[in-house]
Amino acid sequence: MEDQDLHEIRQSIRQLCDGYGEDYWLELDRNRGYPTEFVRELTTSGFLTVLIPETYGGAGMGVREAAVVMEEVCRSGAHAGACHAQMYVMGSVLRHGSEAQKQYYLPKIAAGELRLQSFGVTEPTTGTDTTSLKTVARREGDEYVINGQKVWISRIEHSDLMVLLARTTPKSEVGKKTEGLSAFLIDVAHAREHGLTIQPIDAMINHHACELFFDDLRIPADNLLGAEGQGFKVILDGMNAERILIAAECVGDGKYFVDKASRYACDRIVFDRPIGQNQGVQFPIARCYAEIEAASLMVEKAADMFDAGQACGAEANMAKMLASEASWRAGDVCMQTHGGFAFAKEYHIERKFRETRLYQIAPISTNLILSFIGEHVLKMPRSF
């Protein structure tokens, strides 16, 4: 049984989200808008900064609590992709930032003065082959000079800060391919005036994704996050947190679909009986419920391990895979239950259907998760 603190978080999030109904998100989806008011209230209420320690102005909670926040946001019908990065990027800063960096940035993020909403890793030619990325950062005195390109970088136009991963030592000159990468905190507004070009991508969902071009962008050497050449370790904390939180969002999406489908199945009368009385309608919904509950337990396990400082790469990956697949199946069943009405935007299902589909591809594809489990958990030969 869930403890009282988590129950209270759920109740508070539901009340907050009640002020932003599904029509609010539908209008944003139509106009490619950003939920400024929602993100502001989520921040000022303390829910978007739960991972920041109390000494820096945050709530001092863990990924377990953050996962509950994201789950309930998605279950309400909202699109958590507009704001979730501030939570998972935080892991990199909290665990690897210098004390000076944390003292400077974290109180401002906790107060809502700064947004840390962007994670600059993916590139057009390397995708999830992160160690082969081509963006480079060259040290020149007290600065780094950055050149390269990133793609599918979400919320950069609505963020003050970005964590960027770049090569500081060529791959050919390091003993392990994960070495020679470095992470940096980027001041987005300053960067846009000194060598960063941002180009929005017209995508299937309103995820505010962009392509980035770095042309001799100079940043202070003090913006290095962690040790030079050890950036892959820095972003791993962010990536594991990201996968856990995305999994929690998928659990929320799945519950949203099951809630909608079961209600509609009770209310919709065809041939003088509710369609939910038919096993062909009822059983698929019930199966989705079971799958989502199982995925939720995996999310809880991964979050608890992360908060305990334990290695949780396998658990974070499995949680993300199981939850993303369960939410997609629940979305499909919800669509089928509603029939033709599922395609009407006023029912909101098709928007959520599009949004939850992303998570079998990003932030890591299902096949890469399976290869990780096969190689690192089951000790089979590397598959690629």
Q: What are all long-range contacts of 4-8, with beta carbons under 8 Å and residues at least 24 apart?
A: 5/65, 6/64, 6/65, 6/68
Q: What is the pLDDT of residue 252?
A: 98
Q: How far is CA 121 from CA 95, 211, 219, 325, in A?
A: 18, 11, 17, 24
- Is pLDDT of 86 > 90? no
Q: Provide mean pLDDT across the span 314-334.
A: 98
Instruction: Name the average pLDDT for the chain.
Output: 96
- What pLDDT band is residue 88 in, cutting at 50, 70 and 90? confident
Q: What is the pLDDT of residue 384?
A: 84
**Could you give the CA distance from residue 79 to residue 206 in angstroms, rounded to a whole number?**
9
- Is pLDDT of 127 > 90? no
- Is pLDDT of 1 > 70? no
Q: What is the pLDDT of residue 376?
A: 96
On whether the CB atoms of residues 109 and 42 are closer than 8 A, the answer is: no
| 241 three-state secondary structure | helix
Sign of CA dihedral 164, 170, 176, 177: positive
Element (H, E) at 292: helix 279-307
Q: Provide mean pLDDT across the span 342-361.
A: 97
pLDDT tens-place string over residues 352-364 = 999 999 999 999 9
269-270/273-274 β-pairing: antiparallel
**Could you give the CA distance from residue 256 to residue 275 in angstroms, rounded to a whole number?**
19
pLDDT tens-place string over residues 26-76 = 999 999 999 999 999 999 999 998 999 999 999 999 999 999 999 999 999
- Is pLDDT of 20 > 80? yes
Sign of CA dihedral 119, 208, 80, 369: negative
- Is pLDDT of 79 > 70? yes
- Is pLDDT of 238 > 90? no
Question: pTM of this prediction?
Answer: 0.95
The domains of the chain, with CATH numbers, are 4-115 (1.10.540.10), 117-231 (2.40.110.10), 233-377 (1.20.140.10)
Residue 234 CB contacts under 8 Å (≥ 6 apart), including other chains = 92, 95, 96, 183, 225, 226
Q: Provide mean pLDDT across the span 101-115.
A: 94
- Is pLDDT of 101 > 90? yes
- Is pLDDT of 213 > 70? yes
Of residues 75, 9, 47, 18, the one with CA closest to residue 248: 75
For the beta carbon of residue 25, count every other beta carbon within 10 angstroms. Answer: 23
On whether the CB atoms of residues 103 and 56 are closer than 8 A, the answer is: yes
